Structure 1
């Protein structure tokens, strides 16, 4: 009897994911709820646990494949391990090499996913001549959406790297050559010096300094265009910098892709060698390129405008100071500023519903609920988890949910469903010291509120100059839906609610 392992629900409007990593191989014994594999979507990583204990009999969807919701990933058989397991994706595992000899195995680019035909070699974790274990990660590839780790197909020695860091490879292409078997491992130490000498003399860049190989890929140079100054002609990073700053022949310039005419010629001129040595050029990852493109698309598709105001935080700060100890004692969570801003925005959205709407073709869809997106900074970038039905939540519920989602975001444990369906977003640049900024819309939403640093400033009250803790507020909105009057009204209502929090209790 066998149990099927299927793709779980990925979240609202998310229909497919990419199989990123298998933690188990066919034939491995597994326990119930033990993690079998990891799926990646555009924004989050989803772990797939084992639905039952047994033996992983077959992997149906290999690493790199794109799978839909409820698609079959693998099967689990009850009982002991299968006698003849298969390798990734059901392909028979390579026959073991003779104990005394070595067998060369190709390391291939895995399937990258539907409609994805190429990837960039991001990082090599091993160098030519290094010993590796079966399934040990050799390198990492990057596509538009995900990073794909390439494991070793067998234990042995990494004999040759064919695609250096920065190189673009096609699906099914060869990345390296792995020498497997005991003979390869035993002779790795003795053979490595000779291999280095022969490969250095043959001009293969795999034996050059890793930093030099990476820089050559970024500069678009080949080993033949660089004169190595290291031992046995080994190319060093400094050699690549010198070659990159040297003038190129007219013929090679003619073959280069044309650059945008908006860039002045002075910007493309070679820089002095002493400046080049202090620069570091890093190629954008495919994921970062996709993010940049989508952000620009958001600017191009929406008629985005920003209006500003400022708020006196004295009322909120006094109320928070008076009740924060009692609040934490009763609810088990600290009383912060985000609950006040969330409540104030929900209150303002009920009065100006177009800020809580979106465009769908030629229709405007008004949301009679508030799913509040709260932007959270994480080590890997900015994510926006969503507080569903925030308009019906209490201060304590909002604070608890924000604290929970912040922790899950920093640990990379947010699900796709937790970041889908937001109707309005709050972004707090003040935690990083920002005094004023213009936040960018999170399509298809029509509004986003930017919070900023609280700063004591002199203000005039009743003809007197007083010091008040002030914060600049910024509302970016889609002018296609929201008129200037509506945007200003929204921001004024937020300001009024924060300067006199009692208005929130009285629904004023």
Structure 2
């Protein structure tokens, strides 16, 4: 019996794709949901998982072929079918016994001394590799089923790998700091049930979502733009770096033809000035060097650095400022905070006021909640609010979905829950993508004023700051008032100055008279 592998739905208005890469070849064993191949459209890259376990019997659509929706890609034969009964060998095992050389990979009875591979789980759409951050066990340790063995770090999230079976960790094949591919082998557990460990599927982005890097707040990474696999291959062949190629695909995604143009341009202009690179580090005196410490940047920090520069290179970022008198908001919070916490089980903070005020202002100035897609403007009739959170690993921005339809209590609960998950490193990729606007609160660190950097492809980000008592003129008299500077950074390609100032003024008005939020004024 065979199972057909067909082209999945590719998204609205997308009817065909190109087969970019096959990860398996005929005769290979595959597990359910293990990635078989990668399809490339003019908008996104789509990974095709295996619908069943067995052997890849044949490949119908070869690399480079164009296929339509629901077209046949390959066939998978059940492991018991003729021609598909040869068990998969383990080429990466350190010791290949005589049985292994014959292809024996059958599981002995429980407790019979068999071994089970610890594999890299599926890392999510568009993520193909990870770094081994830490091992919680060492060779020789006894492990229980589902006990955490190690932690992997991608440029998006951290992934914990549980033991697929109980036994003894007999071998570690990927040491801390090494880079591993999705579906690769991490180690071997002996003494348990020797059943092949299927690739574990982590929570991934909703169907149709391709760009899934944590969305930044003030200085966070932007939306992940996965370049076409054929473009990556072409760049490697022609010796071009990613920053030498200008992408023409969605959100600046590099396509194969972009690499060809960049290569032609480099050939036609050999005398052009070389691209500016970071200046070499000056020699350091020996006594200073002895007191220095070098630490490799994490993948998340590398992504933050790259996205910050990408944001500045892509968007026309401009910042407008205002200040808000927090007297009324602070008084309202002080009056009801105890009753609020008693009823809803969560403290009433300032973030719910700012979230509500921004949602209110975005209705009047929708371009701040929109994004540019090629030559089109995409207006969002909803607000997925990103709330920046500092963590030991770096700045991440969990997204509060449909914040415009939530109550104060619902917003506070969502912020608290996601903030705790962010600090614990438990956020999934799905929780850090799809934001339409971002709020970053530098005031918790004492910042008096700053200019936040945009979260591409978002068009606006609000920077909150420290509340500070200052003398203000109120009705002709000098009063001491709790004041906060507000900063709105926006993409001037889509948001005009009038719209940006109007948005910030509406936020200011809502916070200085919170009753306006209740009256929708």
Name the CA shift for 1:282/1:363 in 2 (closer, same or farther; >3 Å): same
1:335 matched residue in structure 2: 348
Partner of 2:388: 375
1:432 matched to which residue of 2?
445
Aligned partners of 2:422 and 2:363: how far apart in 1?
A: 29
Query: CA, structure 1 residues 408+507, in 2 after alignment: closer, same or farther (shift >3 Å)?
Result: same
Contact 2:120-2:185 at 8 Å conserved across structures:
no
Q: Which residue number in structure 1 is paired with residue 362 of structure 2?
A: 349
Aligned twin of 1:455: 468
Give the 3 Å change call, closer, same or farther, for CA 117–365 of structure 1 in structure 2: closer
Distance 1:115 1:423 in 2: 21
Which residue of 1 is the match for residue 221 of structure 2?
Answer: none
| 1:228-247 residue CA offsets vs partner (Å, 9 max, x unmatched) | xxxxxxxxxxxxxxxxxxxx
What is the CA-CA distance between 1:480 and the residue it aligns to?
0.5
* Contact 1:63/1:110 (<8 A) preserved: no
Partner in structure 2 of residue 274 of structure 1: 287
Contact 2:35 2:50 in 1 (8 A): no
- Residue by residue, what CA displacement relative to the aligned partner does 1:344-380 show, whole Å, maximum 9, x if unpaired? 1111111111111111111111122222222223333
Q: Are 1:284 and 2:297 counterparts?
A: yes
**Matching of residues 233-252 of structure 1 within 5 Å:** none
Contact in 2 for aligned 1:86/1:93 (Cα 8 Å): no
Shift of 1:301: 1.2
* Secondary structure of the corresponding residue to residue 307 of structure 1: strand
Partner of 1:298: 311
Partner of 1:422 in structure 2?
A: 435
Distance 1:294 1:72, change over 3 A: farther
**Counterpart selection for 1:469 from 463, 482, 489:** 482
Q: What is the aligned partner in structure 2 of residue 31 from structure 1?
A: none
| 1:391–1:125 Cα change, 3 Å | closer
Q: Deviations over 1:98-142 (max 9, x none)?
A: xxxxxxx9x999799899998777668899xx7566999999876
* Pair 1:315-2:308 in alignment: no
Report the counterpart of residue 378 of structure 2 in structure 1: 365
How many correspondences in the alignment?
358
Partner Cα separation in structure 2 for residue 439 and residue 298 of structure 1: 11
The Cα of 1:477 is off from its aligned counterpart by 0.5
Question: 1:389 deviation in Å?
Answer: 2.3
- Give the secondary-structure state (helix, strand or coil) at the position aligned to 2:292: coil
Instruction: Find the counterpart in structure 1 of residue 61 from structure 2.
Output: none
Which residue of 489, 495, 506 maps to 1:493?
506
1:482 to 495, 503, 514: 495
Q: Do the aligned partners of residues 268 and 341 (structure 1) sit closer, same or farther apart at CA in structure 2, a change above 3 Å counting?
A: closer
Residues 439, 461 of structure 2: 8 Å contact kept: yes
In structure 2, the residue corresponding to 1:268 is in which secondary structure?
A: coil
The answer to whether the 8 Å contact 1:304/1:476 transfers is yes
Rounded to whole Å, the distance in 1 between the matches of 2:459 and 2:32 is 42
Contact map agreement 2:446 2:466 (CA 8 A) in 1? yes
CA distance in 1, matches of 2:297, 2:496: 38
C-alpha distance in structure 1 between counterparts of 2:373 and 2:156, whole Å: 25
Higher relative contact order (CA 8 A, sep 6+): 2
SS in 2 for 1:345: helix
Q: Structure 1 residues 355 and 491 mapped into 2: Cα distance closer, same or farther (>3 Å)?
A: same
What are structure 2's unaligned runs of at least 5 residues?
1-11, 13-28, 39-45, 55-86, 100-114, 192-273
Distance 1:398 1:369 in 2: 15
Stretches of 4+ moved more than 4 A in 1? Answer: 57-75, 85-97, 107-127, 130-158, 163-176, 259-264
1:448–1:87 distance in 2 versus 1, CA, 3 Å:
farther
DSSP 3-state at the match of 2:506: helix
| Pairwise CA RMSD | 5.3
Q: Specify the structure having the higher radius of gyration (Cα).
A: 1
Contact 1:109 1:169 in 2 (8 A): no
Q: Distance in 2 between matches of 1:325 and 1:119?
A: 46
1:315–1:360 distance in 2 versus 1, CA, 3 Å: same
Q: Identify if the C-alpha distance between structure 1 residues 71 and 58 changes in structure 2 by more than 3 Å, giving closer, same or farther.
A: closer
Secondary structure in 2 matching 1:482: coil
Q: Is the 8 A contact 1:305 1:478 kept in 2?
A: yes
Question: What is the CA–CA distance in structure 1 between the aligned matches of 2:183 and 2:364, rounded to whole Å?
Answer: 56
- Which structure has more helix as a fraction of its residues? 1
Per-residue Cα deviation, 1:293-323 (whole angstroms, up to 9, x for no partner): 1222122111111111111101000111111
Distance in 2 between the 1:272 and 1:120 partners? 33
Give the 5 Å matches for 1:118-197.
none
In the superposition, relative to structure 1, how do residues 172 and 260 fare at CA in structure 2: closer, same or farther (>3 Å)? farther
Matches within 5 A, 1:225-236: none
Flag the 1:296–1:457 CA change in 2: closer, same or farther, 3 A. Answer: same
The whole-number CA distance in structure 1 between the counterparts of 2:36 and 2:381 is 40
